[in-house]
Amino acid sequence: MSKGKGQAGWQVVFTTEVRRLWLGWRGPLLLFAFSLFLTVYIVLLAADPEINVLSQRRMIGLTIQVTVLVGIFAVLLLGADSFSGERDQRSLESLLLTPVPRGQLAIGKLLAILSLWLGMIPIAIPYIALVGKGTGVVMASLLLLIIPGTLLVGLSAGVGVLVSGLSPTNVVSFGIAFVVMLLLAAPTQLPGSVKDLPGVHWLIVANPITAVASYQAEVIEGGAWTDRARLLLSPIIALVLAVGLGPRVLNSRLSLQGGVEE
Amino acid sequence: MNSSDEKLRTLLGLRVVCLVLLGGLVVFGVASGARAQGSPTSGAVTVEISRESAALTAGEWVEFNTVLRNNGAIATPPMTAHLSIAALAAGKHVDPEDWSPQRTQFLSPLQPGESVQLPWRLHVLFEGAFASFVTLVSENESFAPVVSPSLRVQVAQDSILPWKDVIPVVAVVPLFPLALLVITVAYARRR
């Protein structure tokens, strides 16, 4: 990989990775799979006579939540493959030999992975507009998808890249990254009565995924954007830690073999 | 002992017997009265319903009241009013917890002539014909259940996601990423 004229190292990596993602089959295939998933989801909603007459705002909230969860796991898939995939294919050595700081390699790959989310958002828009038709909260729903949703997707990509950089193989990387994100995502399925328990409530606030889901639900149900804005604190902190500290950690720890030792 | 003494003793004896019998009757009467007061006939309690029919669209709420009146001469025992919902045709299953957030109300004893109004809310979730009614029961075993007239609910279908809106979106949107996939695969092959 030759450093482009006047381009920072991360920009060169970013350009290369974006080309590989979008001009190869992975990006478009993931987008197609995403659109099929949303299609099946909407058809199931429309076909279920009990769900199809429940609160429309609740249905919008569910659709946003599902969209963001799919985005989280799609970028996690790419993130967890970013360095460990190259390690498995024995192409990491040439990447590490380029005169680009390893932290910048991570930044370039991270931003390229996030371009998948930028492709997913326009696909999700017609589905959310369909579910929110006639409610007057379609625009708010799209903003909720784009702003808090991007916080979580960015966090997921950061976790994936960090774990991939430190994992010796792809299998280990996928295993760890998916377990971490599944543990964070699982509490979104807790029943409402459990979520209101005092101890559980704080766990929900501290967990970035459940905090964003609560915030989105509040706003869609008519709450002001600023009322529960503190719920966005944990996803912002987690994103800063994953995206801000991840490349710093990889700058010194990214190695040919992987692992966390110096 | 002379005959007058015997007559006197006989008279005293009769008076004692009479007093005992009278006392027994009084005790029996009081006890019967007390038992009667504690076990009112439930026929003395009536339940009226504020509306007997409603035509709605699925997803809407219907609100109605029941008025309980004690027409008897004695107080009722504490009672429980319970809302039931039943589908009137086969093939529909009503999950009452989903249809009504509060289906049970507990009532203090109603004094003679007293009445109380109970509000109810029903969330009709899907199309069909349904009947909803309130049953009064009591912990007191002698209180036979009292059932209100039913509210007949006719629910028409109205879905959030009508198929005429769903089909164009689900049929068209996946074509865009599919076209992108086809183009990129073709581009990769040409390279």
Terminal-residue alpha carbon distance, chain A: 26
Each residue's pLDDT, cut to its tens digit, for chain A (262 residues) gives: 545 556 788 899 999 999 999 998 899 999 999 999 999 999 998 888 667 666 778 889 989 999 999 999 999 999 999 999 999 988 888 889 988 899 999 999 999 999 999 999 999 999 999 998 877 889 999 999 999 999 999 999 999 999 999 999 999 999 999 999 999 998 888 877 777 777 888 888 999 999 999 999 889 888 888 888 899 999 999 999 988 888 999 988 888 887 665 5
Terminal-residue alpha carbon distance, chain B: 146
Give the minimum alpha-carbon distance from A73 to chain B in angstroms, rounded to a whole number: 18
At residue B25 the predicted structure's pLDDT band, cuts being 50, 70 and 90, is: very low
pLDDT of residue B41: 56
| Residue B107 pLDDT > 70 | yes
Phi/psi for B114 (5° steps) reads -80, 150
CB atoms A45 and B158 under 8 Å: no
Which of A37, A48, A52 is the best mutation test for B, with the most CBs of B within 10 A? Answer: A52
Question: What are the chain B neighbours of A53 within 8 Å (beta carbons)?
Answer: 58-59, 125-126, 158-160
Contact B184, A28 (CB under 8 A): yes
**Range of A36-45, B6-15, B43-52 with top mean pLDDT:** A36-45
**And the tokens for A11?**
């920009």
CB atoms B169 and A42 under 8 Å: yes
Phi/psi for A255 (5° steps) reads -135, 170
Phi/psi for B107 (5° steps) reads -120, 145
Percentage of chain B modeled with pLDDT above 70: 76
Contact B67, B116 (CB under 8 A): yes
Contact A108, A10 (CB under 8 A): yes
Across chain A, which distance is largest between two alpha carbons, in Å? 60
Give the minimum alpha-carbon distance from B187 to chain A in angstroms, rounded to a whole number: 8
CB atoms B187 and A50 under 8 Å: no
- More confident site: B3 or B135: B135
Question: What are the chain B neighbours of A42 within 8 Å (beta carbons)?
Answer: 161, 166, 169-170
Give the minimum alpha-carbon distance from B71 to chain A in angstroms, rounded to a whole number: 42
> Cα–Cα distance between A60 and B143 in angstroms, integer?
49
pLDDT of residue B10: 54
CB atoms B188 and A23 under 8 Å: yes
pLDDT of residue A252: 86
CB atoms A39 and B170 under 8 Å: yes
β-pairing, B61-70 vs B115-123, is antiparallel
Phi/psi for A261 (5° steps) reads -75, 155
Which of B159, B177, B184 faces A23 most closely, judged by CB atoms?
A: B184
pLDDT of residue A43: 93
> Cα–Cα distance between A19 and A27 in angstroms, integer?
10
Q: Which residues pair with B132 in a beta bridge?
A: B85, B151
Percentage of chain B modeled with pLDDT above 90: 50
Q: What is the pLDDT of residues B48-84, one digit of tens each?
A: 999 999 998 877 889 999 999 999 889 999 999 999 9
CB atoms A25 and B98 under 8 Å: no
Residues of chain A that touch chain B, judged by Cβ-Cβ distance less than 8 Å: 22-25, 27-29, 31-32, 34-36, 38-39, 42-43, 45-46, 49-50, 52-54, 56, 59, 119, 123, 126-127, 130-131, 133
Give the minimum alpha-carbon distance from A199 to chain B in angstroms, rounded to a whole number: 26
Q: How many CB atoms lie within 10 A of CB A230?
A: 11
- More confident site: B101 or A70: A70
| Residue B28 pLDDT > 70 | no
pLDDT of residue B92: 81
| Residue B114 pLDDT > 60 | yes
**Does the model's pTM come out above 0.95?**
no
CB atoms A50 and B159 under 8 Å: no
| Residue B18 pLDDT > 70 | no
At residue B131 the predicted structure's pLDDT band, cuts being 50, 70 and 90, is: very high
Give the A:B interface size as CB pairs under 8 Å: 88
* Crossing angle (nearest 10°) for helices A138-166 and A246-253: 20
Q: What is the pLDDT of residues A95-122, one digit of tens each?
A: 899 888 999 999 999 999 999 999 999 9
Nearest to B146 by CA among B102, B101, B80: B80
DSSP B86-151: EESSTT----HHHH-S--EEEEPPPPTT-EEEEEEEEE--SSEEEEEEEEEEESSTTS--EEPPPE
At residue B127 the predicted structure's pLDDT band, cuts being 50, 70 and 90, is: confident
**Angle made by CA atoms A147, A59, A179, in degrees to the nearest 5:** 60
Question: What are the chain A neighbours of B128 within 8 Å (beta carbons)?
Answer: none
Nearest to B31 by CA among B41, B23, B21: B23
Question: What are the chain A neighbours of B184 within 8 Å (beta carbons)?
Answer: 22-25, 27-28
pLDDT of residue B4: 47
ipTM of the complex: 0.83
Region B135-145: what's the mean pLDDT? 91
Question: What are the chain A neighbours of B185 within 8 Å (beta carbons)?
Answer: 25, 28
